[in-house]
Amino acid sequence: MSKVSVVATITAKAGRGDEIVAAFDGAHGAVQAEAGTLMYVLHRNAANPDVFYVTELYEDQAALDAHMAGPVMAALAGIGDAIEGLDLQFAAPVSVAKGW
C-alpha cells in the first residue's frame, strides 16, 4: 500500500493560537504511540500566530484511519472551541528528497 499524507490548515479564533499549541503538545505521547504515524508536525505561520499547518505522513490508509479514530483525535477534541476554521487536504506523497 502507498503512504498517505495530510496537510491541515487550522485557523484559531483571534488570540487563541497558544491553545492550539498547548493541545498539540499534550497529544505528543498519543502520537508517538501510533505505529503507523511516520510524521506529525505542527507549524505556526510566521506572519499570523493564529494560523497553523499540520503536516502528517502515515504508513498507509489503515494507519490514517487508526489515527482518526484513536486517542490523538480524542486528545485534540477539546480545542474545537478555539478553532475558527479547519481545512484538511488528503494526498499521496510522490517525490521525497529527504526524510521518512
Residue that wins the pLDDT comparison between 32 and 1: 32
Tell me 15's DSSP state. Answer: T
pLDDT value, residue 100: 67
The C-alpha atoms of residue 30 and residue 14 are separated, in whole angstroms, by 28
- Split into its structural domains, the chain has a count of 1
- Position 96 in a domain: no
Q: Which CATH number does the domain housing residue 38 bear?
A: 3.30.70.100
| pLDDT per residue as tens digits for the range 42-95 | 999 999 999 999 999 999 999 999 999 999 988 888 898 999 999 999 999 999
- Position 57 in a domain: yes
Question: Model pTM?
Answer: 0.92
- Position 100 in a domain: no
The C-alpha atoms of residue 20 and residue 25 are separated, in whole angstroms, by 9
- Position 97 in a domain: no
Under the banding of pLDDT at 50, 70 and 90, the label for residue 1 is low
